[in-house]
Structure 1
Amino acid sequence: MRRLWLLLPLLLVACAPKEQRAEPPKALAVAVRVVEAKPGVLERETRVAATLQAERESLVAAGASGRVLRTLEAGSRVKAGEGVVFLDPEPFREALEGARLSLAQAETNLKRAQEAREGNRKALLAQLQAAEAQLQAAKRRYEEGKALLEAGALAPLDLKALEASLHQAQSAYQNAKEALEQLERGEDLRLLALQMEAARLQVRQAERNLKESVIRAPFAGEVVEVFVKEGEFLGTGSRAFRLATTESLIAKLYLPPEKAALITQETPFLLRQNGREAPATLLRKTELPGQSRLVEVVLKPQGALLPGPAEARYREKLAEGFLLPAGALRPEEGRAWVYVVEEGKAKRKPVRLLAQEGDQAAVQGLKPGEKVIYPVPEGLKDGDPVEVVP
């Protein structure tokens, strides 16, 4: 009887209905957060060394040699045509006075020669006429002598004397004719006229040198640097001062061709200098000759900066695709994967990584609006049930 009581619980369990038996527990859903896949452009902030300089700058040289009398100080604002470096004007004034005296003397010599030419012409013309008359008389006497010689009324020796007189008359006529022709050609007058023009040229040169004794600003701007001091000698062609339009600056930077090609007029730039910031826009791009293979990029600042070094910043486009946090990607099997939520489960999906910058990545292989799990829980597997939480 005692054994029957011991077997009774076992019999009751064996005879119990199947639907009342305990079922195994279901897998718990993993709480996850998600980000929505949205298309966009992944950019990177690029920083490049730049140099700010005047948009218009000139290294002004001396146009004449002389001793420096005085100069303006560096930093002076000047107008176009205003003097900056002043040379001693006295030597230039003395040279001008000497050139004017030489010109006056040359003009006097020419005038005297012109007046003398008229008197000489009358005298030479009279000499030519007299020589011509003597030549005609000598010809007649010689012809008469030949006739007398044939008639036996004149000795041969007397005819020789008449012939000599004829040659002498011909020579005198020729000399008088050449003297008159030389006077008519006016070679002496032309020489004196050339001397007068040379004297006038010296006067103009002396006047120009006197003007060059004041070295002036070619345009309105600021005297950035003066290269001479009072009392020093400044030679022709030597640099005197540097002038710049500091209120209008440009910024120059140098980029590889592939990076410069991505910059357009719409690319925004930011210039930083000693705590100051100023936006800037693209002015032009120029390829540099040689083997450097760099492109000179010139920017136009839109703020108050100073000439000198600066830093240029701009956003460089890296890729265009779906932007995700870099932590949402999982490298497995040599590829990049993400986990998306589909029908309450985590589904592993391959994507193509285009570019990564910091904690953000651009990928291909998703659909707009797909829910990508981020951050990815440790141990999450493909097909695990998930519950999206805010």
Structure 2
Amino acid sequence: MRPLLLLLPLLLFACAPKRAEAPAPEAQTPLALQVRVVEAKQGVLEREVRASASLQAEQDSLVAAGASGRVLRTLPAGTRVRAGEGVVYLDPAPFQEALEAARLNLQQAEANLERAQNQLLGNRATLKAQLQAAEAQLQAAKRRYEEGQALLAIGALAPLDLKALEAQYRQAESAYQNALEALSRLERAEDIRLLKLQVEAARLQVRQAERNLRESVVRAPFAGEVVEVFVKEGEFVGAGSRAFRLATTERLLAKLFLPPDQASALSPETPFLLRQNGQEVAARLLRKTDLPGQTRLVEVVLKPEGRLLPGPAEVRYRVRLAEGILLPLASLQIRNGEARVFVVQEGKAQSLPVRLQAQEAGQAVVEGLKPNTLVIHPVPESLRDNDPVEVVR
């Protein structure tokens, strides 16, 4: 019985129906990765630059007194004046007295010159007559002296008498020379020239006195606002001392200092924006000037196109970085110094190399990509070349 019991489980297993075998699994298609794309566009990448500027008057001058005197009155600070209008007034009395004295001195010098010129006309005839008489006396004295020498040679004249004749001859010669010199001096008119110089000096004194009288009023060299007055009524001010400060407060200039490489990128076409106390006005480039003795800074002067106040301000402007294909910076993969983008071709991601030209504020300019190309953005971390993708909007 025992062998039959052992064969029974085997017979039951052999008679049991067979189960259907499970089919082999088929190869599964990878799921497409959903991505978004941006269209590559031709454009220009710019950078916004901010800098500090100082708004100053277009004209700002410290006006000095042109003459010395006592201050009679002044205009108050804050007064708007026209060009040539008086601001500080000195006591004019001393200047008027000096002018009158100079004019009297000129009249005296002119009178002396006229009198000398009249005397010159009368003296010329007299001096000519005196010269002719002296010349005749000289000839007679010379003739007598020569005759005396002849008489002395034959013993008809004593040596002492010849000495007397020689003295008369020398005296006549001296008188002739004096007369000749007097006429020559008259002809040279040395006294007249001296008197003419005195007249010119007197005229110069008159012009100086007139100028001092005009300078007794310290005037505005240009139209503007009296910012500050440095003198007070009643005090004495010296010539050359500062009297007041004048500025064109309604016409301001913005000045900033930039390194040469930044300043060189600016042009009259560069749009500037000045911001002060919440107010913004446009500005244009007026000039660029290298600072003397400086190699690192350039003074940039802007002309505001709106009204601002003197003081600090912020300057904003945009600098052109590069021109080319514009893309979001996040659409680039940069590894080992090489930049690549993924484009969609026939439902798959294709990696393309590009050259990065510039980047700024999340934007980039690249080369090596055609305009209107659909570029995957942002790039998923798991994306690889030839991965199936599905573009979603």
Match of 1:205 in 2: 208
Whole-angstrom CA distance in 2 between matches of 1:22 and 1:307: 83
| Structure 2 stretches lacking a partner, 5+ long | 1-10
Question: How much does 1:43 deviate?
Answer: 1.4
CA-to-aligned-CA distance 1:171-223 (integer Å, 9 cap, x gap): 22322332232233222222222112111111111111111111222222333
Structure 1 residue 165 displacement after superposition: 2.5
Taking a change above 3 Å as real, the CA distance of residues 332 and 180 of structure 1, as seen in their structure-2 partners, is closer
Supply the AA of the counterpart residue of 1:385.
P
Aligned length: 383
- Rounded to whole Å, the distance in 2 between the matches of 1:149 and 1:22 is 177
* Deviation by residue 1:69-105 (Cα, 9 ceiling, x = unmatched): 2222333222222112222222212221221222222
Of 356, 360, 369, the residue aligned with 1:357 is 360
**Pairs within 5 Å for 1:189-268:** 189-268=192-271
1 CA distance for matches of 2:249 and 2:49? 27
Letter in 2 for 1:162: L
1:325 aligns with 2:324: no
TM superposition score normalised by structure 1: 0.85
Q: How far has the Cα of 1:106 moved from its partner?
A: 1.8
| CA shift for structure 1 position 313 | 0.8
Deviates more, 1:227-236 or 1:202-211: 227-236
2:349 is aligned, of 339, 343, 346, to 346
Q: Distance in 2 between matches of 1:171 and 1:367?
A: 117
Are the structure 2 counterparts of residues 186 and 328 from structure 1 closer, same or farther at C-alpha, using a change threshold of 3 Å?
Answer: same
- 1:6 and 2:16 correspond: yes
* Structure 2 residue aligned with 1:300: 303
Structure 1 equivalent of residue 315 of structure 2: 312
Aligned twin of 1:75: 78
Which deviates further from its counterpart, 265-274 or 59-68?
59-68
- 1:260-299 → structure 2 map (5 Å cutoff): 260-299=263-302
Q: Secondary structure at the residue paired with 1:300? A: strand
Q: Deviations over 1:295-316 (max 9, x none)?
A: 3333222111233322211111
Change in Cα spacing, 1:358 to 1:181, as seen in structure 2 (3 Å) is closer
Q: Of 95, 100, 112, which aligns to 1:97?
A: 100
Alignment CA distance shift 1:25-1:88 (3 Å): same
Structure 1 residues 90 and 6, CA gap change in structure 2 (3 angstroms)? farther
What is the distance in 2 between the residues matched to 1:322 and 1:331? 17
- Show CA shifts across 1:45-67 (max 9, x none): 10122222333444433322223
Identity %: 71
Map Cα deviations across residues 18-38 of structure 1 (whole Å, 9 max, x no partner).
Answer: 7xx764554332222211122
Amino acid at match of 2:228: E
TM-score by length of 2: 0.85
Q: Pick closer, same or farther for the CA change 1:274–1:155 going to 2, 3 Å.
A: same
Distance 1:170 1:28 in 2: 144
Per the alignment, in what secondary structure is the counterpart of residue 51 of structure 2? strand
Taking the aligned partners of 1:203 and 1:100, their CA distance within structure 2 comes to 6
CA separation of 1:150/1:345 partners in 2, compared to 1, >3 Å: closer, same or farther?
closer
**How far apart, in 2, do the equivalents of 1:322 and 1:146 lie?**
127
Looking at structure 1, the residues matched to 51 and 314 of structure 2 have their Cα atoms a distance apart, in angstroms, of: 6
Q: In 2, distance between residues paired with 1:142 and 1:2?
A: 200
Deviations 1:282-333 (A, max 9, x none): 2333333434333333322211123332221111122323222222233445
Distance in 1, matches of 2:15 and 2:226, equals 120
- Offset of residue 344 of structure 1: 1.6
- Closer, same or farther in 2 for the Cα pair 1:155/1:318, shift >3 Å? closer
> In structure 2, the residue corresponding to 1:7 is in which secondary structure?
coil
Aligned-residue offset at 1:119 = 4.5
RMSD of aligned residue pairs (Cα, Å): 2.9
Report the counterpart of residue 87 of structure 1 in structure 2. 90
Compute the displacement of 1:378 (Å). Answer: 4.8
Q: CA deviation at 1:373?
A: 2.1
Partner-residue secondary structure (3-state), 2:17: helix
245 and 162 in structure 1: CA distance in 2 versus 1, 3 angstrom threshold:
same
